[in-house]
Amino acid sequence: MKTWHKVAIGVGAAALAGGIVLFSINQANKGVVTVQTAKVAKVDSLVSQVTASGEVKPFTYTNITAQGFGRITDILVKEGDHIKKGDKLLLQDNVQASADVQAQDAAINSTESGIQAADASYKATEADLVTQQANLEKAKLDYDRGVGLYKDGLIAKQDFDQRKTAYDAAVATVDAARARMLAQKAQLDEVRSQLAQGKAQLVHTRDILSKTTYISPINGIVSYLPVRMGEYVVPGIQNATGSFLMTLSDMSTVTSEVKVDETDIVNVKIGQDADVTIDAVPGKVFKGKVTEIGSQAVLRTSGLATTQTTTSNQEAKDFKVVVTLENPPDNLRPGLSTTAKIKTAERKNVVAVPIQALAVRSRKDLEEAAKNAKKDGNVTLAAPPPAAAGDPKKDEVQGVFVVNGKKALFRPVETGISGVTDIEVTKGLQPGDEIVVGSYKALRTLKPEASIKVDNSAPKKTDDSQ
């Protein structure tokens, strides 16, 4: 046999042997899933929190709107100014209002003079009535005396008739004087009523005049000032709002008003602690507490409350939550973007696993895996107790994959609160258990009782130059 024949046979035999080895290795690794694992351990503290974004808002603020028709004649403040309650903010044209007040003042003065004249006339008629009553009393005495004398025949009938006529005239004069006094009293009451009406009208005109000078109702800052001197403003009528002049904000108590997703709002409670960050103040975290929780859902895109819409839809909804800051900085301004992390629950010294380690498998898959394990003669921890017949809540089981030798066994667990990266396990695991934590693809497709290969080496860095 020639030498090259021998070489060719040797090479072929070596290639065949290599192929057999590779085939054996491939068959041995067929169905083996490469995973990353970690040991179950207790954590000192696990915090569940809800994160929401919003903006800085003062606890107390007011929008100043026009109180009457007119032109702005002077603006006494500018945006950012610190103001106190009672400070003047803005002046409006007051020529007509001032004229009305002056005219009403003059009318009141005239009415008061009329009251003095009417009062003097009333007192004069009252004195005249007293005089006429005295004359009546004298005439009555003369008449009564004349009646007696006439009966005794001591006076003539003519004299008696004169006395009677004088008495009747005195009675009529007293009645006329009394009537004049009542008329003067009615006139005096009328003038007094006119004075009261004039004073009420003066209050009205002075109120209109006062509304041409805008006064700050609170302490704070001028946070928004959109108007300019010379502009005309109008008050609100019926459903139309008046001209908007400015916003005043009391920044002594500052809040972060955020929108919390409807799936998280059930966990938020009044008094819960929150950490608030403000985009304009980087690197600082401000402490706060939840002081208000909205009861009405708000549509995420439009910002309208659900009660303001007439059509139903499945759009995502949020709820307003107000977090009051404990020590806000002095340089905050309304409208600054904020992010609030609200602590909804906290557990101490609990068993926790990475959230991505949780998996959900159907009960059917678990039962099949348990049967296959029994056929192979293996003892499995995978299959949970069978669910009651017709119980739809038990169709899927939540659990983790526990490493048992070279296999991954699915173990059902009960969970508690969720943190940022970890979740509390209340039942099903013990510290020291080794569980599968990655990769995401492996966890998504991993089957109970599957063969695994543990590879916890650090991922290779990609070469950016390639």
Per-residue burial over 441-465, b if 16 or more Cβ lie within 10 Å, else e, is: ebbeebbbbbebeeeeeeeeeeeee
Q: What pLDDT is stored for residue 368 in this prediction?
A: 77
Q: Dihedral sign for Cα 49, 50, 51, 54, please.
A: negative
Q: What pLDDT is stored for residue 120 in this prediction?
A: 93
Q: What pLDDT is stored for residue 382 in this prediction?
A: 43
- Return the closest-CA partner of residue 18 out of 8, 10, 7: 10
Sort 436 into a burial class: Cβ within 10 Å, 0-12 / 13-18 / 19+: buried
Catalogue all structural domains in the chain, each as residue range(s) with its CATH number: 32-45+350-454 (2.40.420.20), 51-61+253-347 (2.40.30.170), 96-210 (1.10.287.620)
Q: What pLDDT is stored for residue 103 in this prediction?
A: 94
- Residue 160 has phi, psi (to 5 degrees) of -65, -40
**Cβ neighbours of residue 210 closer than 8 Å, sequence gap 6 or more:** none
DSSP 8-class letter at 310: S
Q: How far apart are CA 432 and CA 41, in angstroms?
A: 6
Q: What pLDDT is stored for residue 239 in this prediction?
A: 73
Q: Which two tokens stand for residue 300?
A: 């995420």
Sort 219 into a burial class: Cβ within 10 Å, 0-12 / 13-18 / 19+: middle
Indicate the SS3 state at residue 161.
helix
Tens digit of pLDDT at every position of the chain (466 positions): 556 555 556 656 666 555 554 444 444 445 688 889 999 999 999 999 999 999 999 989 999 999 888 999 999 999 989 999 999 999 999 999 999 999 999 999 999 999 999 999 999 999 999 998 999 899 889 888 888 888 888 888 888 888 889 989 989 999 999 999 999 999 999 999 999 999 999 999 999 999 999 999 999 999 999 999 999 999 887 777 889 999 999 988 899 999 999 989 999 999 999 999 999 999 999 999 999 999 888 887 776 776 666 566 667 889 999 999 998 888 888 889 999 999 999 999 999 999 999 988 888 877 777 776 666 555 444 444 445 545 544 578 889 999 988 888 899 999 999 888 899 999 989 999 999 998 888 888 888 888 888 888 876 654 544 4
Q: How far apart are CA 145 and CA 154, in angstroms?
A: 11
Q: What pLDDT is stored for residue 7 in this prediction?
A: 57
- Return the closest-CA partner of residue 185 out of 111, 115, 134: 115
Q: Look-up: residue for tokens 């029994």? A: 374
pTM, to two decimals: 0.64
- Residue 434 has phi, psi (to 5 degrees) of -100, 125
DSSP string, 394-460: GSEEEEEEEEETTEEEEEE-EEEEE-SSEEEEEES--TT-EEEEE-HHHHHH--TTEEEEE--PPPP
